[in-house]
Amino acid sequence: MTPKRGTRFVAYVRVSTDEQAREGVSLEAQRRRVTAWAELQEVGLVEIISDEGLSGSTLERPGLQRALAMLRAGEVDGLVVCKLDRLTRSTRDLLALVAELFEDGSRALASIAESVDTTTAAGRLVLTVLGALATWERETIAERTSEALRHLSAQGVKMGREGYGWRYTEAQDGEGRRVVEDVPEERAAAQRAAALRAEGLTLRAIAERLTVEGIGTKRGGRWHAKTVRSLIGAA
């Protein structure tokens, strides 16, 4: 991508909380990269705007909205990011931005890692394909993770905090994971709640009934509609 010399750009950099420690993703690393890019391309870098600790799954980020406002107001001619996923992780949002701000070629979107040039039709096509591929990759990983968790659950392997009706033991399986066991009295309570629900009682009424019957929560507290809903799911 070779933007026109003298073009004014605003740079946008972002990190989400879980990315801050990763090499090459930090805000400072991104600032250095966009500054070097601007010098190499001989374009003006009006400002570097950042969002820290915010996900790229939504466009509702203060820094990003300010950068987009500068584009809309004509204060700058283009927007530069180190990588497209710094701008957004949503193909739908990416396409919406391209359609609104970059489709006619009057403004430029520069992505350093992908060498995207939205001032050409070919560049806009490449941008769309890259965005779609990134979304496909994330969704594939999410599906695989979900499937792995379902498989572990089917084998009796619990993840995270203890739930109502089961608890961790000190024993471990062959892969070093803690073995779990049922808690009969908690299972009975869950079945009692499910039976009351089948009789047509509301969640609040079930919470009151369990409290009257002396059945406590996992930590011995009072039941509420929200916790009763989770309890019935454990039946």
Beta carbons of 93 and 59 less than 8 angstroms apart: yes
CA 111 – CA 113 distance, rounded (Å): 6
- Backbone phi, psi, residue 2, to 5°: -130, 90
Annotated catalytic residues are 16
Tokens standing for 9? 């750009």
Residue 66 has pLDDT above 90, yes or no: yes
Share of the chain above pLDDT 70, in %: 72
Mean predicted confidence (pLDDT) in 57-82: 94
Decide: pTM greater than 0.75: no
Residue 33 has pLDDT above 70, yes or no: yes
Give the pLDDT band (50/70/90) at residue 47.
very high
pLDDT computed for residue 48 by the predictor: 98
Residue 20 has pLDDT above 70, yes or no: no
Angle (nearest 5°) at CA 8 between 52 and 122: 90
What pLDDT, in 10s, does the model give residues 121-136? 777 777 777 667 766 7
Could you give all domains of the chain from N- to C-terminal order, each with its CATH number? 8-142 (3.40.50.1390), 161-235 (no CATH)
Mean predicted confidence (pLDDT) in 37-43: 92
Count of CB atoms situated within 10 Å of the CB of 215: 17
pLDDT computed for residue 160 by the predictor: 52
Share of the chain above pLDDT 90, in %: 24
What pLDDT, in 10s, does the model give residues 205-235? 988 888 888 887 877 778 888 888 877 765 5
Mean predicted confidence (pLDDT) in 168-195: 72
Which segment of 84-98, 103-117, 219-233 scores lowest on mean pLDDT? 219-233
Residue 196 has pLDDT above 70, yes or no: yes
pLDDT computed for residue 72 by the predictor: 95
Angle (nearest 5°) at CA 43 between 38 and 46: 80
3-state SS of the chain? CCCCCCCEEEEEEEECHHHCCCCCCCHHHHHHHHHHHHHHHCCEEEEEEEEECCCCCCCCCHHHHHHHHHHHCCCCCEEEECCHHHHCCCHHHHHHHHHHHHCCCCCEEEECCCCEECCCHHHHHHHHHHHHHHHHHHHHHHHHHHHHHHHHHHCCCCCCCCCCCEEEEEEECCCCCEEEEECHHHHHHHHHHHHHHHCCCCHHHHHHHHHHCCCCCCCCCCCCHHHHHHHHHCC
What pLDDT, in 10s, does the model give residues 123-176? 777 777 766 776 676 677 666 655 655 665 565 554 555 566 667 666 665 555
Report the mean per-residue pLDDT for the chain.
79
Beta carbons of 76 and 46 less than 8 angstroms apart: yes
CA 12 – CA 69 distance, rounded (Å): 12
Tokens standing for 141? 């990983």
C-alpha distances (whole Å) from 13 to each of 23, 84, 152 are 15, 10, 38
pLDDT computed for residue 23 by the predictor: 45
Mean predicted confidence (pLDDT) in 39-63: 92
